[in-house]
């Protein structure tokens, strides 16, 4: 039984698609099919019910547990014997609030500890970073999520205070629920953990307000500065705009919940650069 066949079987089940597994493994779809057929021929049992959306048979479920154990051991062994050139890469992800504040410090630390490190950085929304972690495209990500993932470990790091802000030419420094319910809102994509915070009781079913959403924290801040509406943002991300008078902090009746930030990574062994970055993140961002 070949390791690459077990790995292919794992990814087909993990992604629910022969095509997606082929993309992740960088092989052709016919090769994926051939490897699955080879496993079935070798074991003498069907592993998948292909007419039922790639549902695993009982034998397939047993093989999946076995494949997970074998691949974990194989990956651990490969890491321990990896050449320095392979071990000296860190693929780091960060969401917008992290990128807007202490990403530079997080980048500087592993580079100082590992001079030959090749650092690859992805700034994206948390939902996308989680997907890229799960498919092995990232080693470590600092993000916001309240949803557990079976293949990922989440380590809480701290909380970012959230505040409502708007252009001083349009808003004062205080709004009650009624005024808030009439205000245009610059909000977050529905996949963001902050999305529900912009759907407070003040924004009930009968509310007819303008709602603009963006995946970019930078763009949300710029829209707020230009008077497009109110934005709920991490306080530290708008310090410059508040100090310059481009934005005003707005007190509301219901204090926004803080944004919880965590480190996410696969449950397998972390590389030394990834472990160093995780240790630094835990130390550099105490709970607020």
- CA-closest candidate to residue 144, choices 162, 157, 134, 131: 157
pLDDT score, position 190: 53
Sheet holding 152-160, edge to edge: 118-123, 89-94, 140-143, 259-266, 152-160
Kindly state the average pLDDT of the residues 162-182.
88
The span from the CA of 57 to the CA of 263, in Å, is 35
pLDDT exceeds cutoff 70 at 110: no
Specify the pLDDT at position 178.
80
Q: Residue written as tokens 């700034």?
A: 123
3-state SS assignment for residue 196: helix
Residue 185: pLDDT band (50, 70, 90) is confident
Query: What residues have CB less than 8 Å from 21, skipping those under 6 apart?
Result: 8, 11, 12, 14, 15, 32
Return the higher-pLDDT residue of 286 and 62.
62
Give 163's pLDDT tier (boundaries 50, 70, 90). Answer: very high
Least confident of 106-120, 144-158, 248-262: 106-120
Entry field: residues in the chain = 288
Per-residue pLDDT at 205: 47
Whole-angstrom distance, CA of residue 66 vs CA of residue 46: 16
Q: Do residues 232 and 135 lie in contact, with contact meaning Cβ atoms separated by under 8 Å? A: no
> Domains, the chain, ranges and CATH?
3-80 (1.10.10.10), 84-158+260-284 (3.40.190.10), 162-257 (3.40.190.10)
| Mean pLDDT, the chain, whole residue set | 79
Rg of the chain over all Cα atoms, to the nearest angstrom: 23
Place of tokens 């997080």: 106
Q: Which residue has the higher pLDDT, 104 or 154?
A: 154
pTM score, two decimals?
0.62
Identify the pLDDT of residue 242. 94
**Mean pLDDT across 203-231:** 75
Closest CA to 125 of 186, 185, 184, 195: 195
pLDDT at 183: 84
Residue 277 and residue 98: Cα distance in Å, rounded? Answer: 14
Instruction: State the residue for tokens 């960060």.
Output: 94
Q: Which of 68-82, 88-102, 247-261 has the highest mean pLDDT?
A: 247-261
- Return the pLDDT at 31: 93
pLDDT, residue 257, reads 85
Query: Would you state the pLDDT for residue 189?
Result: 65
State the DSSP string of 95-162: -HHHHTTTHHHHHHHHHHH-TT-EEEEEE--HHHHHHHHHTTS-SEEEE------TTEEEEEEEEE-E
Of 99 and 84, more confident? 99
Q: What is the predicted pLDDT for the residue at 15?
A: 77
């Amino acid at each position: 039984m070949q390791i690459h066949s077990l790995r292919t079987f794992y990814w087909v089940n993990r992604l629910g698609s022969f095509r997606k597994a082929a993309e992740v493994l960088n092989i052709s779809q016919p090769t994926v099919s051939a490897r699955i057929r080879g496993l079935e021929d070798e074991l003498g049992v069907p592993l998948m019910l292909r007419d039922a959306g790639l549902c695993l048979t009982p034998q397939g479920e047993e093989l999946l547990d076995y494949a997970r154990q074998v691949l974990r051991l194989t990956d651990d062994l490969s890491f321990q014997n990896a050449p320095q050139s392979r071990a000296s890469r860190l693929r780091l992800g960060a969401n917008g609030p992290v990128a807007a504040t202490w990403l530079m410090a997080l980048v500087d630390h592993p580079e100082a500890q590992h001079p030959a490190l090749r650092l690859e950085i992805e700034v994206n929304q948390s939902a996308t970073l989680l997907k890229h972690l799960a498919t092995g495209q990232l080693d470590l990500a600092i993000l916001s999520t309240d949803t557990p993932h079976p293949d990922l470990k989440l380590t809480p790091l701290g909380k970012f205070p959230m505040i409502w802000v708007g252009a001083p030419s349009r808003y004062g420094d205080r709004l009650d629920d009624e005024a808030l319910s009439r205000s245009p809102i610059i909000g977050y994509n529905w996949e963001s953990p902050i999305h529900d915070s912009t759907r407070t009781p003040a924004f009930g079913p009968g509310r007819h307000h303008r709602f603009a959403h963006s995946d970019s924290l930078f763009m949300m801040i710029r829209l707020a500065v230009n008077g497009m509406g109110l934005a709920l943002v991490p306080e530290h991300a708008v310090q410059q705009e508040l100090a310059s008078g481009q934005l005003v902090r707005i007190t509301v009746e219901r204090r926004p919940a803080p944004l919880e930030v965590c480190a996410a990574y696969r449950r397998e062994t972390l590389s030394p650069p990834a472990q160093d970055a995780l240790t630094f993140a835990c130390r550099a961002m105490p709970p607020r």
